[in-house]
Amino acid sequence: MMKSPLIFLGIALLGGCMDPAPTTTTTSLRPDATASLDKADNADNKDLAKLRSATARFHNFDVAKQAGYTFLFMNMCMVDQSPLKLGGMGDHYVNTNLLDAHVDVEHPEALLYEPGPNHQLNLVAVEYVIPKAAWTSSEPPMLFGKSFKLNAFDLWALHVWVWENNPSGLYADWNPRVSCANAPA
């Protein structure tokens, strides 16, 4: 059993229990939310359509919570703090039951929400995650023809900006259009 990632998740989970998660959501989509999808390879379009279909219901955050996306990773809205200021990711709500060595197009491990005015959460992306300790291959995991990146948290990760156009690319880590300006202080 993978003790290190589970211990980390347990500690982070306790931290996430301190503040109640917002329950207000919005279902309005920005008009250009599919612009990044238009640039996807034709071979990936079917899987991207499956992903959009499977996650459309999560524009309602209460539905996402009922589906198990209750763990707020790092208990904060994430923005790039590097000198490049590449943009934001938003809040990462993780379904910890999905953290293993497998990914499924229709069941991403994390949903990314941008905080909006009046505390609503806007679904902007998904993230597929495999704990480093669970991955035994010498090659990185792949999905949509893209390799996952090993991040600072020892997690293999792949972002897919399926609900918010990302000028940096459909699979980029950061999105310059996503902000944490409305995140609770």
Structure token digits, residue 133: 């300790």
Strands 146-147 and 149-150: unpaired
Each residue of 147-180: b (16+ CB within 10 Å) or e?
ebeeeeeebbbbbbbbbbbbeeebbbbbbebbbb
Per-residue pLDDT tens, the chain, 185 aa: give them. 444 443 334 333 333 333 333 333 333 334 444 444 555 556 678 999 999 999 999 999 999 999 999 999 999 999 999 999 999 999 999 999 999 999 999 999 999 999 999 989 999 999 999 999 999 999 999 999 999 999 999 999 999 999 999 999 999 999 999 999 999 98
Res 42: pLDDT: 60
**35-56: pLDDT as tens digits:** 445 555 566 789 999 999 999 9
pTM score above 0.85: no
Report d(CA 109, CA 63) in Å as an integer.
Answer: 15
Other Cβ atoms within 10 Å of 18 Cβ, number: 8
Domain boundaries, the chain: 3-160
Contact 80, 99 (CB under 8 A): no
Contact 159, 125 (CB under 8 A): yes
